[in-house]
Amino acid sequence: MSLIEIKNLRKAYPEAVPLENVSVSIDAGEVVSIIGPSGTGKSTFLRCINRLETPTSGEIWVDGVNVCDPNTDLPSIRKKMGMVFQSFNLFPHKMVAENIMMPQQQLLGVSRADAYREAVTQLARVGLESKARAYPDELSGGQKQRVAIARALAMHPKIMLFDEPTSALDPNMVSEVLSVITNLAKTGLTMLIVTHEMRLAKGVSSRVFFMDQGGIHEDGTPDQIFEHPQSERTRNFICRVRSWEYTVTGDIDLYEMMAGLENFCRLQFMGKKASNDCQLAMEEMVTGYLLPVLKENPDKSVVIQIDAGEGEKGFSLSVDTRALPRDVFLAGEHDDVSGILLRNLLKRMPDKEPGIAVFTRQ
């Protein structure tokens, strides 16, 4: 029997059925990333496994025990599964080391001294030895999440469950948590990770579940899922996460637009140069070409779509100007700074459809 064996799992709420007839088995040592659109039961699936959610029907066997059986001793089975939450959930009234010691002492009967030793070991593992005596509110988000990971690890679980571990973090703190998880994946620990972070799913997992419409829609290696998705839905999702759209109007909020673009570049693991170029090009495009026309025509709007290309460098930028009264990109009309800058950054492709200009960078 596999370490985790799920049979006909169903979870229904009065207004929605996030999980319908899910059956899957996961072997010891597998690192499974669970991706998919929002609201498709990824977190519910994970939370059913340690019974933070109670399934409506079906069976979940973990290490030979059916956790859906009402007679199951839940605390003892939960001790075998560490869980890391999106919102960290450190105990705020305890210091970092105490956060890690307390469950060991109270649940495993470990002596105070041994618990402390273990806490220090686990903190060293996540690079936070020096924070043992800090309170959680003295830590950054990334540090809190690393402590949460250390706290779970100190219980020596057989399985680690990660529920969107980087979603609540500032962008500049994602990396520190990702590298801890990446290192953990190499130790042979069985891990299930619900994530929107495609580089995590692609980089560390041995297996990827694409969840949609109440179930595991596609199940395969990262290569299969990301490069050769079998189903249309998977392909659409992968493409969608690889492109970004923004509608520009006369009263645009430039800061919001740039922040969204920056986040997209980061998620697409574009290189630093490509990411900078992309942002610069976008800014010039909007301020130099589109806004002057849009200010004259306040009821019009322009849709810009950015697609990340293969590798770390390429991307393309397509501008749908069909709503505008004239072609703003007629060659030779713009010899000002914007024009020169844009031409240097991107190459304009021959139009496939009139009114949709496509620029690329290889």
Partner 1 sequence: MRKAIIMILITAVLCALCILPVSAEEPEYRSCEEMGGATVGLLTGMPFENMITGKIPDIGGFAYFASMPDETLALKAHKIDAIFINNALIDFAAAHNPELVKMSEHYLDSNFGFAFPKGDPQRDVWAAIIDRMKADGTIDALWEKWMLSDDPDKNVPEQDWPGKAGTVRVACADSFEPMSYLGKNKQMMGFDVEILLNVAKELDLKVVFTPMEFGALMPTIQSGKADIAIGDIVITDERAEIMDFAPYAPAYFTMLIRKAGVGTAANAGFFQSLGESFERTFIKEGRYRMILSGLGMTVLIAVAAAAIGLALAYGLVFIRRRNNPVANRLISGYNSLIAGIPAAVILMVLYYIIFSSEEFSPVLVAVIGFSLIYCSRAYGIIWNGVSSVDGGQREAALALGYDEALAFKEVILPQSERYYRPLLFSQFILLLKETSVAGYITVLELTRAGDLIRSRTMEAFFPLISVAVIYFLLTFLVTRIARRMDRIFTAKHDNHRIKGVDK
Q: Which is nearer to partner 1, 148 or 201 (CB)?
A: 148
Which residues, listed in sequence order, are joined to residue 44 by a DSSP beta bridge? none
Tokens 């939450």 belong to which residue? 85
Among 2, 72, 89, 276, binds partner 1 (CB under 8 A): 89
Contacts of 220 (CB under 8 A, 6+ apart): 207, 208, 230
| Residue 52 interacts with partner 1 (CB under 8 A): yes or no | yes
Which residue type is seen at 87?
S
Contacts of 38 (CB under 8 A, 6+ apart): none
Query: Least CB distance from residue 78 to partner 1, whole Å?
Result: 5
| Residue 269 interacts with partner 1 (CB under 8 A): yes or no | no
Stretch that binds partner 1, among 84-92, 122-130, 176-184, 248-256 (CB under 8 A): 84-92
Query: Least CB distance from residue 98 to partner 1, whole Å?
Result: 6
Query: Least CB distance from residue 133 to partner 1, whole Å?
Result: 4
| Residue 235 interacts with partner 1 (CB under 8 A): yes or no | no
Task: Write each residue from 121 to 160 as x if it is in contact with partner 1 (CB under 8 A), else as -, in one continuous string.
Answer: -----------xxxx------------x--xx--x-----
Residues 298-337 that bind partner 1 (CB under 8 A): none
Among 33, 40, 50, 190, binds partner 1 (CB under 8 A): 50
Q: How many degrees, rounded to 5, is the angle at CA 79 between CA 96 and CA 138? A: 15
| Residue 97 interacts with partner 1 (CB under 8 A): yes or no | yes
Residues 155-184 that bind partner 1 (CB under 8 A): 155, 161
Q: Retrieve residue 178's tokens.
A: 């990702």
Among 28, 107, 124, 259, binds partner 1 (CB under 8 A): 107
Phi, psi of 103, rounded to the nearest 5 degrees: -65, -35
| Residue 95 interacts with partner 1 (CB under 8 A): yes or no | yes
Among 14, 64, 109, 113, binds partner 1 (CB under 8 A): 113
| Residue 98 interacts with partner 1 (CB under 8 A): yes or no | yes
Among 162, 161, 145, which residue's Cα sits nearest to residue 79? 161
E-strand ranges in the chain read 4-11, 19-26, 31-35, 57-62, 65-66, 81-84, 159-163, 190-194, 207-212, 215-220, 243-248, 302-308, 315-320, 347-348, 356-361
Q: Retrieve residue 38's tokens.
A: 């929002």
Is residue 70 packed enough to be buried (19+ CB in 10 Å), middle (13-18) or exposed (0-12)?
Answer: exposed
Q: Which is nearer to partner 1, 104 or 234 (CB)?
A: 104
Q: Retrieve residue 351's tokens.
A: 């139009």
- How far apart CA 263 and CA 267 sit, in angstroms, is 6
| Residue 114 interacts with partner 1 (CB under 8 A): yes or no | no
Q: Retrieve residue 159's tokens.
A: 């399985």
| Residue 79 interacts with partner 1 (CB under 8 A): yes or no | yes
| 3-state per-residue secondary structure call for 320-361 | ECCCCCCCCCCCCCCCCHHHHHHHHHCEECCCCCCCEEEEEE
Residues 186-205 that bind partner 1 (CB under 8 A): none
Among 14, 70, 93, 331, binds partner 1 (CB under 8 A): 93
Stretch that binds partner 1, among 30-38, 105-113, 330-338, 353-361 (CB under 8 A): 105-113
| Residue 13 interacts with partner 1 (CB under 8 A): yes or no | no
How many residues lie near partner 1 (CB under 8 A)?
Answer: 37
Is residue 203 packed enough to be buried (19+ CB in 10 Å), middle (13-18) or exposed (0-12)?
Answer: middle
Query: Least CB distance from residue 171 to partner 1, whole Å?
Result: 22
Q: Which residues bind partner 1 (CB under 8 A)?
A: 50, 52, 74-76, 78-79, 81-83, 85, 87, 89-93, 95, 97-98, 101-103, 106-107, 112-113, 116, 132-135, 148, 151-152, 155, 161
